Amino acid sequence: MARYTCSFIVSVTIDHLQPLVVELLQDCEFDVQYYTADYIMAREIPGSVSFSKLVKVEVLIDKSTATETETRMSIVIKNEELPLQLDNHCRQVFEYLKQAIEHNRHWHLIETIAG
């Protein structure tokens, strides 16, 4: 199973982060399946790749360390594909989503920590 993780610290209040991340995932062609104030689960929309390559995304928003100006969030991107090649589908989606988060106009990125 391919699995990629990354953490971000962004300058946005915790109250605004969750709806902004849901919107970002939808803009990136993900179907948001479930969300709460500190957790979001989405999956790639079927049709363009085989079922085993469909990517799932989990976003965890860290409420315990959030301040009025900064919030930490972590993403986990995974699928059932064996990562036999460095540039597999899951990795491509991970890089695409990572760039979308880093260049989002609704917040200022303070730090990225790849896992």
Read out DSSP for 57-99? EEEEEESSS--SS-EEEEEEEEESS---STT-HHHHHHHHHHH
Is the CB of residue 65 less than 8 Å from the CB of residue 45?
no
Amino acid 47: pLDDT: 85
pLDDT at residue 57, rounded to an integer: 97
Q: Sign of dihedral through CA atoms 111, 75, 60, 2?
A: negative
Domain boundaries, the chain: 2-114
Global pTM reads 0.90
CATH topology of domain 2-114: Alpha-D-Glucose-1,6-Bisphosphate; Chain A, domain 4 (3.30.530)
Confidence at residue 86, expressed as pLDDT on a 0 to 100 scale: 79
> What was the pLDDT predicted at 82?
82
pLDDT < 50 regions, the chain: none
HEC secondary structure over 41-68:
EEEECCCCCCHHHCCEEEEEEECCCCCC
pLDDT at 115: 67
